[in-house]
Amino acid sequence: MGKEKLLFDAHFEADDLVNDFKTIVGKPTPVPHTLLIAILNTAWQMIASVRYAYDDKDINEFIELISETHIYGPRLIILDLFPWLNKILPPFLIDFLFKHKIQADLSDKIKAYFQKHIDNHMKDLCEENCKDYIDAYLLEMEKQKDDPNSTLSIEDLKFCLSDLFEGSSETTSLTLHWAILYLARYPNVQKKLQAEIDEGSWVFGESYVVHHDPKYWDSPNELRPERFLDSNGKFVAPSKAFVPFGYGKRFCIGENIGRMQLFVFMTKLVQNFQFDCPPGENITLEGVISPFFRPPKGSPKVLITLR
């Protein structure tokens, strides 16, 4: 579970993704959904020491479940903000308005998906061979089994797994998705990025979080990656206005993993492919407004060609 293994896994998945992209070069197409599977695989390797083929039924069903929770999940925020609604509205109306039963069913299916992996880990659990996150959690739970103050449990583990996937997969894949669309829309920026990679220089990928405060950013609506470079061409982040991973006590614990994944995958993709707008078409860089994520609106097509 060391940093070296995470880096190796990211390189392996990025190479596999490049091979998948090569099968669709020359044809206008939406950014392939295999991008998300590749990112999920890096998370699954860290969490459960497993990876899936892009056409695997289980991983595609898992993605469907996650997608459905994103559709219905925002409704439940209203109940979190106004819990008194549960007391004044009848159950059938709560279910109709907030799709509570649908969400509960999705949650049960996701937990059952996790339970299969937990069961497999419990069969060969060994303190001398801690392979991944699930092993580490189960071993610690065993150590604390006689502690009345312990909060570790199988149910808690499932919630932890859900948080890990939510925070480490969709965010990274959407950032890469947006990066590909922006590179296709702004070929001059893509050429600069490819030139940097071709020289072996360090390249830092941008997160999709765009900061628009004119107090800190001049021309905030323009894509100008050079704004993050000093006179020597080195990356310099504004200390107050650049917070893609949050700040304070809620600072994202997965920053290092996220940065590593973005760097490896973006480098591999730009190194091997050219992304362009399809002939006669334009890419509208609009996002779907959501409390959790900001996926591209519709399914913008890009033309992928080999370099």
Binding residues for heme: 252
Q: Which residues are part of a known binding site?
A: 252
Q: Which residue in the block uniquely carries the two structure tokens 């001398």?
A: 128
b/e 30-69 (16+ beta carbons within 10 angstroms → b): ebbebbbbbbbbbbbbbbbbebbebeeeebeebbeebebb
The residue ranges of DSSP E strands in the chain, in sequence order, are 29-30, 273-276, 301-306
**Phi, psi angles (nearest 5°) of residue 89:** -105, 140
User: What is the Rg, in whole angstroms, of the alpha carbon atoms belonging to the chain?
Assistant: 21
- Which of 240, 251, 303 is closest to 277 using CA atoms? 303
Burial environment of residue 17 by CB neighbours within 10 A (0 to 12, 13 to 18, 19 or more): buried
How far apart (Å, rounded) are the C-alpha atoms in residues 241 and 33? 32
Task: Give the number of C-alpha atoms closer than 13 A to the C-alpha of residue 203, restricted to the C-beta side.
Answer: 27
